[in-house]
């Protein structure tokens, strides 16, 4: 059987319930076999802030998805030399999973709205379908993007999810400012953030 795989790339600094609910809804609604969580090695989109060390972000993903056989950590991006463009990551996954695999790249509307600024977006939509979830407050004009990137629209699968206004940026700010983060992310991930003294 040819595997149907969701691919959720992210910085995961830290992983939170927005990521997990998005992955679960895509898995269910598109009837996928599993979702690969792919921490970014050296995120080209975030040069402006220091990102936590790779081993911390990988560990938080492991803790966040523990116990779900259909959620799988992929080290494909952290174990390769840069630059870490998404197209290269998808090519490696195709090589790893074989020609029959169908990849659904999962992203929020904030990320879709940026797609034209990504490296080789036309190649990105050739390598994977897009499973797009609404990021609260971020609308995207797909007609306008389609004009710049013909073929985009037919690659998009819209997936509904309960709206969760959670972001890693907000979680880091909360920790820094001594505000609570419980229930916004898995308890084991919160425990790790505390134990490793991250985001202070
Ligand atoms: P940061 O604030 O550091 O950018 P983030 O919360 O946006 O972190 P990312 O690792 O940047 O998390 O996101 C990875 C992917 O998950 C992106 O495609 C993003 O749109 C999606 N995503 C993250 N949080 C949510 C959420 N609450 N609802 C829907 N999609 C989300
Ligand atoms: Mg983000």
**Calpha distance 99→178 (Å, rounded):** 48
Q: Does ligand 1 have an atom closer than 6 angstroms to the CB of 6?
A: no
Return the domain boundaries, the chain: 4-166
Give residue 51's pLDDT. 93
Mutate to test the pocket of ligand 1, among 14, 20, 22 (most ligand atoms within 8 A of CB): 22
C-beta separation of 103 from 93 below 8 A: yes
- Of the pLDDT bands very low, low, confident and very high (cuts 50, 70, 90), residue 43 is low
Q: Does ligand 1 have an atom closer than 6 angstroms to the CB of 59?
A: no
Rounded average pLDDT over 131-155: 97
The values of phi and psi at residue 20, to 5°, are -70, -40
Q: Specify the ligand 1 atom closest to the Cα of 164.
A: 27
User: Under CATH, domain 4-166 is a member of which superfamily?
Assistant: HUPs (3.40.50.620)
Pick from 165, 166, 145, 162: nearest CA to 154: 145
Give residue 180's pLDDT. 98
CA distances from 4 to 12, 69, 105, 106 (A): 23, 15, 11, 13
Tell me the pLDDT of the chain averaged across its residues: 96
- Of the pLDDT bands very low, low, confident and very high (cuts 50, 70, 90), residue 44 is low
Tokens 């993007």 belong to residue: 145
**Calpha distance 199→118 (Å, rounded):** 28
Pick from 99, 97, 121, 98: nearest CA to 111: 121
Q: Which ligand sits nearest to residue 17's alpha carbon? A: 1
Query: Taking 90 as the threshold, does the pLDDT of residue 45 lie above it?
Result: no
Helix (H) or strand (E) segment spanning residue 88 = helix 86-97
Ligand 2 centroid to 115 CA: how many Å? 13
Q: Does ligand 1 have an atom closer than 6 angstroms to the CB of 12?
A: yes
Q: pTM of the prediction? A: 0.97
Mutate to test the pocket of ligand 1, among 167, 170, 176 (most ligand atoms within 8 A of CB): 167
Query: Taking 70 as the threshold, does the pLDDT of residue 135 lie above it?
Result: yes
C-beta separation of 149 from 118 below 8 A: no
Q: Does ligand 1 have an atom closer than 6 angstroms to the CB of 190?
A: no
Residue nearest to atom 14 of ligand 1 (CA): 10
pLDDT tens-digit readout, 74-103: 999 999 998 899 999 999 999 999 989 999
Ligand 2 centroid to 151 CA: how many Å? 25
């Amino acid at each position: 059987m040819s595997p149907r795989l969701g691919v959720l790339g992210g910085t995961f600094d830290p992983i939170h319930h927005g990521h997990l609910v998005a992955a679960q809804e895509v898995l269910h609604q598109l009837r996928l076999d599993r979702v690969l969580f792919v921490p970014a090695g050296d995120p080209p989109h975030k040069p402006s802030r220091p990102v936590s060390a790779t081993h911390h972000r990988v560990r938080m993903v492991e803790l966040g998805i523990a116990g779900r056989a259909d959620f799988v950590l992929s080290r494909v991006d952290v174990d390769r030399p840069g630059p870490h463009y998404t197209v290269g990551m998808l090519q490696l996954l195709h090589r790893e999973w074989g020609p029959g695999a169908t990849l659904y790249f999962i992203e929020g509307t904030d990320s879709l709205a940026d797609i034209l600024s990504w490296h080789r977006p036309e190649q990105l939509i050739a390598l994977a379908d897009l499973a797009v979830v609404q990021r609260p407050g971020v609308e995207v004009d797909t007609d306008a993007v389609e004009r710049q990137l013909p073929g985009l629209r037919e690659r998009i699968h819209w997936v509904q999810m309960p709206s969760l206004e959670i972001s890693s940026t907000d979680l880091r700010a909360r920790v820094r400012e001594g505000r609570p983060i419980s229930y916004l992310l898995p308890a084991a991930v919160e425990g790790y953030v505390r134990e490793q003294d991250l985001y202070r």
